[in-house]
């Protein structure tokens, strides 16, 4: 994994088409919309062969046979898979076109049987969605085998399901997002899909467009808008080295065209010098749209890394940038009157606003919020020039989570307090409860909201869920957690906190004796676990989603390990304090008096906790 590079400034979509995405910085070898996006010749599952004489190898190969393009070549895939089955049993095997993704345990062989323990992670549909499995997560499949005529082994009895070993999912499928507009038409929301690498390159854009037409994944459907009814394509999408051309039906509304342009740009992902050209009934149409701002995961300017902060001895402090000795303190924008006794904090992008969790006495905590103070006027002694704008939000509790800025804007913050969710406006003095009726089946211990502001992940009763964050059009500042969808994870029942790491991935932490972090996709299909090898309490988990689209950016994870601010990288934990990232030099030790004796006392090590990112 590499260091995060953020998205940059908006680029106008002007002229005859939509120009090159110079604003988006790609980190590492991410997927491409070019010739190597799919490779039909190189991604075929292993065919049946007489050379396989070990029954467990036969079953292992069969657990890959279902991979491929069931949306366009289902019969071909089935014919290949049936070669593994005894001829007189093939007619009885009718598993359908959905593929059950399984994590495969250690196989055991006894007699003419092979037992395969599995965890069922979800069901992959021909539309590239992973749906929840309707049944028990853990199970045991039994395969019977026999000798094939002419040599080799074949299956004589097997489950009535298409099964795919999830370890090879990304060998045969490309993980990518398609995008839908939120219900307010203010930003794009990604919908994770898996495109078979066997899809011919000339059909890729058509397939992605058709998936848009079919609509969003079920769990997102209440939070996003479907395509307009008259937004169907006319013929195939044409792509060359310079341009992707999409011919549509008549769309009279220019605003609808512009929204569709941004949606298609992020979904089809023009590469290099390519641009996107929309046509209406075969005629080029001009679009003018600031598409990067509409994907809020691509919101930092100048392709810079996000600023980092930490609570040092109860005071919010900037964390040093590379090459800086001591960054300036926050006192000009965050007055000392409120920057004290902090438990945690959230800093809006460009430090336009702050949300602070402060100790309020008697073991309670209180939320403060507000915009940054105006810079102090150094030409006058008038103290009102730096009058604090941070104020109590009217919310107290035994425990308040680190605030989360919604929509990556410093206007509304969400917090988890004593197991309940509330939102607070940056100028507000009274919190508003979030309707969690759909999630009332257990205690919420962790919550995170994606940059798009419409998808959330929650830890409820130690398990991981995703849900839409719904907003009322009739009532301002009214939020509701939509129906949660439980995700299969190997750490089920042990989880404590969660944070979005990528558009399609969250990082979770455990609450048990062995501290563990894991990266999990928002559909539960892919999980990478990083045991830390430590017995520790993991708290204040946070991460930063950098860039968007088909990029590979991750690694920005911060958390407290036994109340010490720490950065995590692929399971390796490094305390921030050991990076020499303290922003203010320690005060000098007083000179010892002539009468004093003994060696001078070493400086007191500061307490560094609750590190966080801007935005």
DSSP letter string, 533-562: S----EEEEEE---S-SS------EEEEES
Strands in 235-390 per DSSP E: 238-239, 243-248, 275-280, 283-284, 308-312, 315-318, 342-347, 353-361, 364-371
Give the domains, in start order, of the chain with CATH numbers: 55-171 (3.10.450), 200-294 (no CATH), 305-433+576-587+600-615 (no CATH), 435-563 (2.120.10.30)
Spatial contact of 249 and 240, defined as CB atoms under 8 Å apart: no
- Structure confidence at residue 23 (pLDDT): 42
- Structure confidence at residue 80 (pLDDT): 95
Q: What are the tens digits of pLDDT across the range 22-38?
A: 444 333 223 333 335 66
Residue 140 pLDDT > 50: yes
Mean pLDDT for 483-488 is 98
Q: What are the tens digits of pLDDT across the range 526-554?
A: 999 998 888 899 999 999 998 788 877 66
Spatial contact of 290 and 296, defined as CB atoms under 8 Å apart: no
What pTM does this model have? Answer: 0.89
- Structure confidence at residue 210 (pLDDT): 97
Spatial contact of 179 and 259, defined as CB atoms under 8 Å apart: no
Spatial contact of 103 and 119, defined as CB atoms under 8 Å apart: yes
pLDDT, the chain, mean? 87
- Residues facing 198 on adjacent strands: none
Cα–Cα distance, 450 to 506 (Å, whole number):
9
Distances (CA, A) of 381 to 330, 333, 528: 20, 17, 57
Residue 206 pLDDT > 60: yes
- Structure confidence at residue 380 (pLDDT): 46
Residue 372 dihedral angles phi and psi, to the nearest 5°: -65, 155
Residue 595 pLDDT > 90: no
- Note the Cα 609 to chain centre separation in Å: 24
Antiparallel, parallel or unpaired: β 162-165 and 99-104: parallel
Cα–Cα distance, 148 to 127 (Å, whole number):
35
Mean pLDDT for 377-383 is 48
Q: What are the tens digits of pLDDT across the range 570-585?
A: 778 888 865 555 445 5
Cα–Cα distance, 484 to 458 (Å, whole number):
8
Mean pLDDT for 225-253 is 91
Cα–Cα distance, 296 to 17 (Å, whole number):
22
Indicate the SS3 state at residue 386. helix
- CB burial of 321-354 (b: ≥16 within 10 Å; e: otherwise) equals eeeeeeeebbeebbbeebbebbbbbbbbbebbbb
Res. 448 pLDDT band, cuts 50 70 90: very high
Distances (CA, A) of 172 to 69, 133, 195, 198, 612: 9, 21, 9, 7, 37
Spatial contact of 27 and 547, defined as CB atoms under 8 Å apart: yes
- CB burial of 32-54 (b: ≥16 within 10 Å; e: otherwise) equals ebeeebbeeeebbbeebeeebee
Cα–Cα distance, 381 to 176 (Å, whole number):
57
Residue 19 pLDDT > 70: no
Q: What are the tens digits of pLDDT across the range 385-433?
A: 445 689 999 999 999 999 999 999 889 999 999 999 999 999 888 999 9
- Structure confidence at residue 473 (pLDDT): 81
- Structure confidence at residue 414 (pLDDT): 98
- CB burial of 414-449 (b: ≥16 within 10 Å; e: otherwise) equals bbbbeeebbbbbbebeebbebbbeebeeeebbbbbb
Strands in 550-615 per DSSP E: 557-561, 565-569, 572-575, 608-613
Q: Which of 98-107, 160-169, 379-388 is the least confident region?
A: 379-388
Q: How many helices (H) and strands (E) does the chain have?
A: 5, 37
Indicate the SS3 state at residue 263. helix
- Its sign, for the CA torsion 129, 453, 408, 574, is negative
């Amino acid at each position: 994994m590499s260091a995060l590079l953020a998205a940059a400034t908006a680029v106008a979509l002007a002229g005859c088409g939509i120009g090159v995405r110079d604003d988006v910085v790609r980190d590492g070898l991410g997927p491409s919309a070019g010739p190597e996006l799919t490779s039909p010749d190189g991604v075929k599952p292993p065919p049946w062969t007489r050379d396989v004489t070990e029954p467990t190898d036969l079953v292992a190969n069969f657990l890959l046979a279902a991979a491929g393009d069931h949306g366009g070549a289902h019969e071909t895939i089935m014919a290949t898979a049936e070669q593994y089955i005894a001829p007189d049993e093939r007619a009885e095997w009718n598993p359908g076109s959905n593929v059950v993704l399984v994590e495969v345990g250690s196989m055991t062989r006894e007699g003419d049987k092979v037992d395969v323990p599995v965890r069922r992670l979800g069901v992959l549909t021909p539309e590239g969605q992973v749906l929840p499995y309707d049944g028990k997560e853990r199970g045991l499949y039994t395969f019977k085998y026999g000798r094939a005529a002419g040599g080799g082994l074949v299956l004589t009895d097997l489950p009535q399901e298409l099964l795919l070993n999830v370890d090879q999912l990304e060998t045969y499928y490309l993980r990518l997002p398609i995008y839908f507009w939120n219900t307010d038409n203010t930003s794009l929301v990604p919908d994770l899909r898996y495109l078979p690498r066997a899809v011919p390159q000339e059909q890729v854009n058509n397939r992605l467009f058709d998936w848009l037409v079919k609509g969003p994944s079920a769990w997102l459907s209440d939070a996003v808008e479907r395509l307009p009814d008259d937004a169907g394509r006319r013929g195939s999408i044409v792509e060359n080295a310079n341009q992707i051309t999409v011919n549509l039906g008549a769309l009279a509304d220019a605003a609808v065209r512009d929204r569709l342009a941004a949606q298609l740009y992020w979904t089809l992902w023009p590469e290099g010098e390519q641009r996107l050209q929309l046509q209406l009934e075969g005629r080029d149409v001009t679009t003018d749209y600031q598409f990067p701002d509409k994907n809020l995961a691509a919101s930092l300017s100048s392709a810079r890394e996000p600023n980092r902060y930490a609570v040092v001895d109860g005071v919010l402090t900037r964390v040093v940038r590379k090459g800086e000795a001591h960054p300036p303190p926050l006192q000009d924008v965050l007055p000392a009157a409120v920057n004290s006794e902090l438990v945690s904090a959230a800093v809006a992008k460009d430090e336009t606003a702050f949300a602070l969790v402060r100790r309020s006495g008697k073991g309670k905590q209180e939320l403060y919020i507000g915009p940054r103070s105006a810079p102090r006027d150094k030409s006058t002694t008038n103290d009102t020039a730096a009058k604090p704008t941070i104020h109590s939000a009217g919310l107290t509790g035994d425990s308040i989570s680190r605030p989360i800025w919604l929509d990556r804007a410093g206007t509304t913050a969400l917090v988890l307090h004593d197991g309940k969710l509330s939102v607070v406006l940056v100028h507000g003095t009274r919190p508003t409860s979030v309707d969690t009726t759909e999630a009332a089946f257990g205690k919420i211990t962790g919550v995170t909201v994606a940059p798009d502001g419409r998808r959330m992940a929650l830890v409820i009763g130690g398990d991981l869920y995703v849900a839409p964050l719904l907003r009322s059009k009739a009532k301002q500042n009214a939020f509701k957690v939509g129906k949660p969808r439980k995700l299969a994870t190997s750490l089920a029942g042990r989880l404590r906190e969660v944070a979005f790491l990528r558009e399609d991935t969250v990082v979770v932490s455990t609450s048990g004796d062995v501290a563990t972090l894991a990266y999990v996709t928002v559909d539960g299909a892919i999980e990478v676990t990083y045991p830390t090898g430590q017995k520790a309490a993991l708290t204040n988990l946070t991460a930063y989603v950098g860039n968007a689209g088909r990029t590979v950016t991750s690694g920005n994870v911060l958390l407290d390990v036994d109340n010490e601010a720490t950065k995590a990288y692929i399971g390796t934990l490094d305390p921030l304090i050991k990076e020499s990232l303290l922003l203010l030099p320690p005060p000098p030790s007083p000179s010892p008096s002539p009468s004093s004796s003994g060696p001078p006392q070493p400086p007191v090590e500061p307490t560094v906790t609750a590190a966080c990112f801007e935005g």
